[in-house]
Chain A
Amino acid sequence: MKAKVIVTPKKTVLDPQGNAVRDAMRHLGMPEVRNVRIGKYLEIDLDGKNVDLEKRLDDLCRDLLSNPVIEEYSIERLSE
């Protein structure tokens, strides 16, 4: 199984990196840019594909790959 995990800062958390990129985009001729949020993208290859594996992946997304205090995550499962 392949999984894509996307981790993004929570809306309530200041994202200065996103703001800097937003400002640069506006500066480079795209005043339409309203907001930019920068997160992380992880591509994970796993052996097997079953409910238990998905459950354990979800647990690790919460415990390791993201910090629930400041981030949210989503998992997209892709079969091989």
Chain B
Amino acid sequence: MKFAVIQFPGSNCDQDCIAAINGIAGLHAEYVWHKETSLRDFDAIVLPGGFAYGDYLRCGAIARFSPIMRAVVSDARAGKLVLGTCNGFQILCEAGLLPGALVRNRSLRFVCEMVTTRVEVANSPFMHGCSEGTLLRLPIAHGEGCFFADPETLRQLNRDRQVILRYSDRQGRIVPEANPNGSIENIAGICNHERNVFGLMPHPDRASDARLGSADGAKIFRSMMETINANRAEAGSGPAKQVA
């Protein structure tokens, strides 16, 4: 199964994503330069972290107009799984694939630390096998990760269970002290209404090996593989051929 990792000028977690995905049996990841125009050969798409176009104007504001984004948008609309981490999340919001926006951290500080997040929705396409309340240890590293949405959008996100991850303390309590950036309602990651596009500020790519302090991030990539296999089995074409 083949995952695309998009490289924008200024991406800097593309190698982390490739390493994390290739570390999972059955998955193979390849770089795709942002000037490419097709993602036809890929089963899923990952927008990595970094500072695409130097974060000029706003984070993700210029990257969303890169040629590859037409393919990302059309494949997302067709139901392909799309994951955006950190800067990738910002780009997905700017592109209108996810609601809301990410603004300057309330503290005005760049935060770089390991945080606890709580899974809010069981068995979503990106969190197979995770029950509600599962705690994931994931690193964050951002200056503009404060999630904002207007009250109506926020109501919809909650009503349609699109909030997938919230920052919590180690006991899983959603408290202000566990909120590293001022995100509204401690939101760390959301999906779109169709549930095939997921964006989160934490870095699953930097937490896919226990030697790095946590392997919880690998659950997200593995879950994407399981979802794609399940969708294929349902469509009658059988599970995807495993890549050794």
Residues of A within 8 A of B (CB): 9, 12-14, 16-17, 20, 40, 64-65, 67, 69-70
Contacts and interface: CB of A to CB of B under 8 A. Distances in A.
Interface of B: 57-58, 61-62, 65, 93-94, 99-101, 103-108, 146, 148-150, 182
A12 B150 contact: yes
B241 to A, nearest CB: 41
Contacts of A69: 93, 99-101, 148-150
B57 A65 contact: yes
Contacts of A64: 57, 61-62, 65
Interface of B: prevailing SS: loop
A67 B101 CA distance: 8
A13 B103 contact: yes
B57 A14 contact: no
Contacts of B107: 16
A20 B149 CA distance: 22
Given A14-B103, A16-B182, 7 more contacts: A14-B106, A16-B108, A17-B104, A40-B57, A64-B57, A69-B150, A70-B101
A70 B148 contact: yes
Contacts of A12: 150
